[in-house]
């Protein structure tokens, strides 16, 4: 219990050090990773049953070599691609938004540094250090969130493409 309390206090102190923008970045990264984890869970568990049902339905068709069968095959593959790529554009938009919010944190932190310099002058380094940390920590957090999101979204796109190609291979036309 003490560990949990100390962890929450450390997180709160870190968020206060980075300013208000860091809280927005944290919420954005949290939502982005919720979507990423949902996609991973779907690809690892949900899609397998969908693929199995599509392959079973295809193999139970008596007609697998006509123009109509080709159109049904294309429809099933398209539906699978839509299901696999769902939420990926939203994840990619969140990845792009992370560095922009980091830049906003940099600007607001530097404004605080300039305010301190206008009031106290350049001789008060301790006062300026708080603004500099508010300028650098959101930038770092935005970049870390963007990098982790880029790796995850690239993996999800690659898996979605591979699974769609595997489904195309399983739904073979009889000629």
Band (pLDDT 50/70/90 cuts) for residue 2 is confident
Residue of 20, 54, 39, 50 lying closest to 152 (CA atoms): 39
Of the chain, the end-to-end C-alpha distance in Å amounts to 67
Tell me the C-alpha distance between 141 and 130, whole Å: 17
Highest-scoring range by mean pLDDT, 16-25, 31-40, 162-171: 31-40
Cβ distance 32 to 94 under 8 Å?
yes
pLDDT score for 1: 77
Dihedral angle sign, alpha carbons of residues 77, 79, 83, 87: positive
Exposed (0-12), middle (13-18) or buried (19+): which is 55, by Cβ within 10 Å?
middle
Q: Rounded to whole angstroms, what are the CA distances from 110 to 58, 83, 103, 129?
A: 61, 44, 11, 10
Kindly tell me if the per-residue pLDDT of 124 is higher than 70: no
Cβ distance 92 to 155 under 8 Å?
no
- pLDDT, tens digit, for every residue of 72-111? 899 999 999 999 999 999 999 999 999 999 998 888 888 8
Q: Which of the 8 DSSP states describes residue 76?
A: H
Tell me the C-alpha distance between 154 and 152, whole Å: 5
Cβ distance 31 to 91 under 8 Å?
no
Cβ distance 15 to 26 under 8 Å?
yes
pTM to 2 decimals?
A: 0.83
pLDDT score for 130: 67
Structure-token pair, residue 77: 């593959």
- Non-local CB neighbours of 60 within 8 Å, separated by 6+ positions: none
């Amino acid at each position: 219990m003490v560990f949990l309390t100390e962890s929450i206090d450390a997180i709160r102190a870190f968020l206060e050090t980075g300013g208000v923008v860091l809280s927005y970045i944290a919420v954005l990264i949290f939502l982005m990773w919720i979507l990423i984890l949902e996609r991973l869970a779907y690809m690892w568990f949900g899609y397998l049953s969908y693929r199995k049902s599509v392959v079973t339905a295809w193999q139970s068709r008596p007609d697998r070599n006509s123009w109509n069968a080709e159109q049904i095959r294309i429809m099933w593959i398209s539906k699978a691609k839509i299901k696999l790529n769902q939420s990926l554009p939203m994840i990619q938009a969140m990845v792009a938004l992370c560095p922009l919010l980091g830049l906003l944190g940099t600007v607001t932190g530097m404004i605080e540094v300039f305010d301190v310099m206008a009031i106290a002058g350049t001789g008060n380094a301790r006062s300026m250090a708080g603004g500099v940390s508010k300028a650098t920590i959101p930038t770092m957090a935005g970049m870390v969130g963007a990098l982790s999101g880029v790796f995850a979204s690239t993996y999800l796109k690659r898996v979605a493409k591979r699974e769609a190609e595997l489904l195309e291979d399983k739904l073979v036309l009889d000629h």
